[in-house]
Chain A
Amino acid sequence: MIWAAIALVAAGCYAVKLLGLSVPAAVLERPMVRRLAALVPIATLAGLIALQTFGEGRTPVVDARAAGLAAAAAALLLRAPFLVVVAAAVVVTAAVRALTG
């Protein structure tokens, strides 16, 4: 099942990339399509952040990951490079977990 999902995502993502390079601009240049295309990834990313930070099985919880995400947000506000942002989240989450047991 996991292999099937990987194949689906690989084929779908490649098709989408090739589509963008190949179709005439007019097809995708409609204002509503453009606006939706800009917003759907933002909605999906925000949903994933919420899910992976506050989701524990099927219950919302606040734990060490929330502190890690806050650290990442702080690093972003300080214009830290990408890897530093990720490292801040990882280190703070591990530290909070170690301290609170």
Chain B
Amino acid sequence: MTASPTQTGPPPPKPRAAVVRDALGVGITVGLSGFVFGVTSSGAGLSVAQTCALSLLVFTGASQFALVGAIGAGGAPFAAAAGALFLGARNAFYGLRLSQLLALPAAVRPLAAQWVIDETSAVALAQPDRAAARLGFTVTGVSLYLGWNVTTLLGALGASALGDPSAWGLDAAGPAVFLALLASMMRGGNSRGSWRRIRERPEPVTALAAAVLTLASLPILPAGVPILVAALAAPAVLVVNRRRRDLS
């Protein structure tokens, strides 16, 4: 049966198996990278219990990597926590879009909230209808939560067997994870219809300004503070852009 061009109405519902397959693919792949987090966290000097507590309770990868990275670099724990919280703030906006899409009962919300992260949102928001979105969100959430926590434990236990993580190049894993996340966020800015030329979009200049601010403030500010300075690039770029628009 082929759809004729004149046919209107909603598209056929996506098969449940296809939703589950997509969701499991994302959940398992990203879940496996908990191993990298476990090793990185151990290398930064956190205990196995602390490392596992982060994956169980924080469960948002970028914030976890940011926290252990800052502690490993000798930052004050509370400055490190502030950087991690800045990164976690984006999940509020995923939650906002998901609450309209999933229409969760109030009793389920506190449970579902822990799974509101980049990957579950990406899978759920890509589904054509509410039933598929709920299924995608749940399957991604369960598989990612299980995978991420089991591999975190294995990574933390394995790290002691590996010895010095930097000898294995594992200190480069954190920046690579961040770069992959950054790339997906930059692409995300494109998919909203109004394709502006890259020069006019605020994301690249914000990223560049933040990197420069961080390295410039590194020698003069206490450990952990440069990353807070980096966050200032975001309001700064917005203010400059607005002024430029007002002038033109």
CB distance from A79 to the nearest CB of B (A): 10
Main secondary structure of the interface of B (DSSP, over half): helix
A1-42 interface (Cβ within 8 A of B): 1-6, 8-10, 12-14, 16-23, 25, 28-29, 32, 34-42
Main secondary structure of the interface of A (DSSP, over half): helix
One of B63, B84, B180 near A76 (C-beta < 8 A): B180
Q: Are A18 and B109 within 8 A (Cβ)?
A: yes
Q: A42-B185, A51-B214 are in contact. Are A13 and B88 (CB under 8 A)?
A: yes
Interface of B toward A, CB cutoff 8 Å: 29-30, 32-33, 36, 46, 50, 53-54, 57-60, 62-63, 65-67, 69, 71, 73-74, 77-78, 80-81, 83-96, 98-100, 104, 109-110, 112-114, 116-117, 166-183, 185-186, 189, 202-203, 206-215, 218-219, 223, 226-227, 229-235, 237-238
Q: Are A51 and B73 within 8 A (Cβ)?
A: yes
One of A41, A47, A54, A68 near B227 (C-beta < 8 A): A47
Report A-chain residues with C-beta under 8 Å of the C-beta of B89.
16, 37, 40-41
One of B36, B87, B117 near A41 (C-beta < 8 A): B87
CB distance from A14 to the nearest CB of B (A): 6
Among the interface residues B73, B110, B234, which one has the most CB atoms of the partner chain A within 10 A?
A: B234
CB distance from A51 to the nearest CB of B (A): 5
Q: Are A82 and B172 within 8 A (Cβ)?
A: no
The tally of residues in A whose CB lies under 8 Å from a CB in B reads 71
Question: What are 27 inter-chain pairs, A to B, with CB distance below 8 A?
Answer: A4-B77, A9-B54, A9-B81, A10-B58, A20-B93, A20-B116, A21-B104, A21-B113, A21-B116, A25-B100, A28-B96, A37-B90, A38-B90, A39-B238, A41-B90, A43-B210, A43-B234, A44-B210, A45-B178, A48-B65, A48-B66, A52-B174, A68-B176, A72-B176, A89-B179, A92-B169, A93-B172
Report B-chain residues with C-beta under 8 Å of the C-beta of A39.
202-203, 206, 233-234, 237-238
Q: Are B87 and A22 within 8 A (Cβ)?
A: no
Q: How many Å lie between the Cα of A5 and that of B233 in the bound state?
A: 25
Report A-chain residues with C-beta under 8 Å of the C-beta of B112.
21
Q: Are A21 and B99 within 8 A (Cβ)?
A: yes
